[in-house]
């Protein structure tokens, strides 16, 4: 007689999976742009990301959120944030892998694509610590607006040493960056900001007075901040420690108690005579900081693709080891349909993310035009699809997936974040409309989807529908989301037709463009080769 207390029919811990080498979809997404299959750095990231050691740090970093310390024991204002040791373990390795600003100073081929692959793989471990990594990456293109500030900060931002000491930039081995844009009364409408910036010298130095409702990663060394200067909204570089070693006034009021992203600190901050250095011209704040916003939007896409991938892997791993109704869950036709559907969603997100990263490496104006239209499309669609996908993957684990120890609740709470940060769905859909006012943007989109013109009648018909919609300018804003979704799907379909397997491409086009789909995961056409699609996901 079987022992009723024996532990059976439970999936073992996910182990022995290199998150880079076992990801065929990622390999196919990278191959058209660079030969990275044998890249030693990506192999190391993938091996560590799939290790038990990494898993052992992911949950503690989230279960022990950061703590704000406004004063020391003597009453001195310090405005510091304390983190669990697992946070520092994750950060040290992310910086050591060069996932922050290293690509901007690299002389290696395809540095941004390589970094994107690494960021995507490493973000599958724990997504929260990716925020300061992403902010640091994104600060560099904005800093290039001022040669002196760029020379002062970029080499330290690009360093692969994680240095938490509170020192002036010149005394540190490496620094990290954050951003302060939104205020209580404005939110995404940053032109409503009330923080003031008063010139105090001839070298671009100003005093800032006001607040920020969301200050990302308040523990880092330097921030790009928007404030109202005499000639309008402007961008400023705000260091935590000044060159003379004194702390810059930077009053942390409280940390946000967030739905997800709990390992990372987001704060409300007040400036009282805080020193900032103007970056770009007065009145050009949005134009200056938009370079940072664009780069963080790319990481929103990559981070969401990473969440999709990790949720997919967990679902497949569990169903391959869990039996029910007389056999393994992964052998049941209904479950195979679900897993295959999740797999093509994940692969489409990965393909689009890597295509965008490859465009960052290019100096071709046509690639710049492609980024201008494809980035808000991808940000809108991939980030918005992620909560639905993660929820379905969690359901594959049943009750086990609802338990914190599985790691799925962490992914689920994180899944809406990237759709909100750096412009919510409406902001990005409207940004698509703005991009379309430039003929080169539409031309870039048509060139990309047209690369496979004639290869699939269903895609050709979808592109025709988009062009018809663009011809009707009435109520364009009301239809912005519908248009953005369709254009993003056409991009993904084009990439999968060119670079994935025929089974993946056909299933994607049939379901997402030709309406042979029930609208929920697991409703692919019954003729879909489910096993072929699932088996290539993690081997």
| pLDDT tens digits, one per residue of 214-233 | 998 999 999 999 999 999 99
Q: Can you tell me the distance from the alpha carbon of 105 to that of 537, in angstroms, rounded to the nearest whole number? A: 34
Report the pLDDT value the prediction gives residue 433, as an integer from 0 to 100. Answer: 94
| Whole-number percent of the chain with pLDDT over 70 | 100
Q: Can you tell me the distance from the alpha carbon of 160 to that of 261, in angstroms, rounded to the nearest whole number? A: 24
Do residues 491 and 359 lie in contact, with contact meaning Cβ atoms separated by under 8 Å? no
Q: Is the pLDDT of residue 203 over 90?
A: no
pLDDT tens column, 440-459: 999 999 999 999 999 999 99
Q: Is the pLDDT of residue 187 over 80?
A: no
Report the pLDDT value the prediction gives residue 6, as an integer from 0 to 100. Answer: 85
> What's the rounded mean pLDDT across residues 3-20?
87
Q: Is the pLDDT of residue 539 over 70?
A: no
pLDDT tens column, 509-530: 999 999 999 989 999 999 999 9
Residue given tokens 């391959």 in the structure block: 320
Residue given tokens 């300018």 in the structure block: 473
> What's the rounded mean pLDDT across residues 337-357?
98
The phi, psi pair for 519, rounded to 5°, reads 90, -10
> What's the rounded mean pLDDT across residues 38-47?
97
> What's the rounded mean pLDDT across residues 414-418?
97
Which residue from 114, 221, 117 is spatially nearest to 169, judged by alpha carbons?
Answer: 221
pLDDT band at 331 (very low <50, low <70, confident <90, very high): very high
Mean pLDDT of the chain: 95
- Listed in sequence order, the DSSP H helices in 245-332 are 285-319
How many helices and strands, by DSSP H and E, does the chain display? 18, 11
Report the pLDDT value the prediction gives residue 116, as an integer from 0 to 100. Answer: 98
Q: Can you tell me the distance from the alpha carbon of 479 to that of 481, in angstroms, rounded to the nearest whole number? A: 6
Q: How many CB atoms lie within 10 A of CB 37?
A: 12
Rounded (10°) angle between helices 111-122 and 40-49 = 10
Report the pLDDT value the prediction gives residue 242, as an integer from 0 to 100. Answer: 97
Please tell me what DSSP assigns to residue 51.
Answer: S
pLDDT tens column, 358-401: 999 999 999 999 999 999 999 999 999 999 999 999 999 999 99
Residue 171 has which token pair?
A: 């005394």
Say what the alpha-carbon torsion angle 318, 319, 325, 326 is, to the nearest 10 degrees.
-100
Q: Is the pLDDT of residue 186 over 80?
A: no
Residue given tokens 């058209």 in the structure block: 32
Report the pLDDT value the prediction gives residue 273, as an integer from 0 to 100. Answer: 97
pLDDT tens column, 126-152: 999 999 999 999 999 999 999 999 999
Let me know the angle formed at the C-alpha of 75 by 74 and 81, rounded to the nearest 5 degrees. Answer: 100
Q: Is the pLDDT of residue 189 over 90?
A: no
Q: Is the pLDDT of residue 406 over 90?
A: yes
| Whole-number percent of the chain with pLDDT over 90 | 90
Residues 6+ apart with CB under 8 A from 129: 61, 87, 90, 91, 94, 263, 264
Q: Map out the domains of the chain with their CATH numbers.
A: 288-538 (1.20.140.10)
Report the pLDDT value the prediction gives residue 184, as an integer from 0 to 100. Answer: 87
pLDDT band at 15 (very low <50, low <70, confident <90, very high): confident
Report the pLDDT value the prediction gives residue 9, as an integer from 0 to 100. Answer: 85
Do residues 211 and 74 lie in contact, with contact meaning Cβ atoms separated by under 8 Å? no
Residue 167 Cα distances to 102, 164, 170, 248, angstroms:
21, 9, 8, 11
Rounded (10°) angle between helices 425-436 and 439-449 = 100
């Amino acid at each position: 007689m079987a022992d009723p207390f024996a532990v059976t029919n439970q999936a073992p811990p996910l182990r022995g999976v290199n998150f880079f080498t076992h990801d065929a979809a990622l390999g196919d997404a990278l191959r058209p742009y660079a030969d990275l299959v044998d890249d030693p750095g990506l192999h190391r990231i993938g091996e560590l990301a799939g290790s038990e050691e990494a898993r052992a740090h992911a949950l503690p970093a989230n279960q022990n959120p950061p703590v704000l310390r406004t004063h020391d024991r003597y009453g001195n204002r310090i405005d510091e944030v304390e983190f669990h040791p697992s946070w520092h373990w994750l950060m040290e390795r992310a910086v050591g892998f060069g996932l922050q600003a290293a690509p901007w100073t690299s002389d290696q081929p395809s540095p941004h694509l390589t970094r994107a692959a690494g960021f995507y793989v490493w973000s599958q471990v724990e997504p929260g610590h990716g925020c300061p990594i992403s902010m640091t990456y994104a600060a560099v293109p904005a800093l290039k607006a001022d040669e002196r500030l760029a020379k002062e900060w970029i080499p330290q931002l690009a360093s692969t040493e994680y240095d938490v000491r509170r020192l002036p930039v010149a005394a540190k081995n490496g620094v990290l960056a954050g951003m302060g844009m939104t205020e209580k009364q404005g939110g995404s409408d940053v032109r409503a900001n009330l923080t003031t910036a008063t010139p105090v010298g001839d070298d671009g130095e100003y005093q800032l007075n006001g607040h920020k409702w969301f200050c990302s990663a308040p523990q880092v060394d330097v921030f790009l901040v928007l404030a109202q200067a005499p000639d309008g909204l402007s961008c400023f570089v705000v260091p935590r420690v000044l060159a003379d070693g004194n702390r810059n006034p930077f009053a942390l009021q409280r940390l946000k108690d967030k739905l997800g992203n709990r390992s990372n600190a987001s704060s409300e901050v007040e400036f009282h005579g805080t020193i900032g250095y103007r970056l770009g011209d007065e009145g050009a704040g949005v134009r200056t900081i938009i370079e940072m916003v664009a780069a963080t939007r790319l990481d929103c896409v990559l981070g969401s693709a990473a969440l999709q991938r990790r949720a997919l892997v967990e679902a497949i791993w569990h169903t391959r080891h869990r039996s029910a109704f007389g056999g393994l869950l992964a052998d049941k036709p209904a479950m195979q349909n679900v897993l295959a559907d999740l797999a093509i969603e994940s692969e489409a997100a990965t393909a689009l993310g890597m295509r965008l990263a490859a465009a960052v490496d290019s100096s071709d104006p046509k690639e710049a035009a492609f980024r201008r239209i494809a980035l808000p499309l991808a940000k809108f669609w991939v980030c918005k699809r992620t909560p639905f996908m993660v929820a379905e993957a969690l359901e594959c684990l049943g009750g086990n997936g609802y338990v914190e120890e599985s790691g799925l609740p962490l992914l689920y709470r994180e899944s809406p974040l990237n759709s909100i940060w750096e412009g919510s769905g409406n902001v990005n859909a409207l940004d698509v409309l703005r991009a379309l006012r430039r003929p080169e943007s539409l031309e870039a989109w048509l060139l990309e989807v047209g690369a496979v013109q004639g290869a699939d009648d269903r895609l050709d018909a979808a592109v025709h529908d988009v062009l018809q919609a663009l011809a009707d300018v009435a109520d364009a804003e009301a239809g912005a989301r519908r248009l953005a979704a369709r254009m993003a799907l056409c991009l993904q379909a084009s990439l999968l037709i060119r670079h994935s397997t025929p089974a993946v491409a056909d299933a994607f086009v049939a379901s997402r463009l030709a309406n042979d789909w029930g609208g929920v995961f697991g409703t692919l056409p019954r003729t879909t080769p489910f096993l072929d699609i699932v088996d290539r996901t993690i081997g």
